[in-house]
């Protein structure tokens, strides 16, 4: 890996049209299985010795190299990509989200049901004491 590679600016995915002009394109969204496979590939790349060294020595260059390496994925799923390359993605939470997205696509739950499930799950995770109080409060509203 050359030292210049990390100095490039991150590129947005683009194509060259029939006239030879560059056009930006909309991202191609992936199936839930493909998303999980891409997360695995990104994590494997992050574990390579040269990437570990680059991340430790020059974080902005590391971010640029990773974004250029996985441009389509980074462009289509920027928040997920940043969490993965930042090393702070919690896989169990990703699996839960992917499972619910798949249920929505299969027509087994609505978007509102999935959002409600996730919000309650994360509320209990991040605010365990407050979550119990919130559940009690919700019961009083139903009366």
pLDDT digit string (tens) for 92-119?
888 888 888 888 888 898 888 888 888 8
Residue range 107-133: mean pLDDT, rounded: 76
pLDDT value of residue 84: 92
Residue range 72-90: mean pLDDT, rounded: 87
Residue range 66-86: mean pLDDT, rounded: 89
More confident residue, 124 or 22: 124
Q: Is the pLDDT of residue 15 over 50?
A: no
CA distances (Å), 84 to each of 3, 7, 22, 75, in order? 23, 21, 29, 14
Beta-sheet strands, E only, within the chain: 14-16, 22-24
pLDDT value of residue 106: 86
pLDDT digit string (tens) for 16-67?
455 555 454 445 667 788 888 999 999 999 999 999 999 999 999 999 999 9
pLDDT value of residue 52: 95
Cα–Cα dist 14/24, whole Å: 4
Cα–Cα dist 57/7, whole Å: 13
More confident residue, 45 or 130: 45
Residue range 9-14: mean pLDDT, rounded: 49
Domain spans in the chain, listed from the N-terminal domain onward: 1-89, 90-143
The dihedral built from the CA positions of residue 110, 112, 117 and 119, taken in this order, carries a sign that is positive
CA angle (20 as vertex; 15, 23 as ends), nearest 5: 35
pLDDT value of residue 20: 56
CA distances (Å), 20 to each of 24, 27, 98, 123, in order? 13, 20, 38, 51
- Spatial contact of 96 and 37, defined as CB atoms under 8 Å apart: no
Query: Is the pTM value of this prediction over 0.75?
Result: no
Residue with tokens 């249920």: 103
pLDDT value of residue 19: 57
């Amino acid at each position: 890996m050359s030292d210049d590679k990390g100095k490039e600016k991150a590129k947005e995915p683009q194509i060259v049209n029939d006239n030879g002009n560059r056009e930006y394109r909309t991202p191609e969204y992936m199936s839930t299985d493909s998303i999980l496979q891409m997360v695995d590939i990104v994590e494997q790349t992050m574990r390579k010795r040269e990437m570990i060294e680059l991340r430790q020595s020059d974080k902005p260059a590391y971010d640029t190299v990773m974004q250029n390496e996985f441009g389509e994925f980074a462009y289509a799923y920027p928040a997920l990509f940043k969490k993965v390359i930042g090393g702070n993605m919690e896989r169990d939470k990703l699996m839960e989200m992917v499972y619910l997205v798949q249920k929505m696509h299969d027509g087994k739950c609505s978007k509102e049901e999935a959002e409600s499930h996730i919000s309650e799950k994360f509320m209990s995770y991040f605010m365990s004491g407050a979550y119990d109080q919130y559940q009690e409060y919700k019961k009083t509203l139903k009366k």
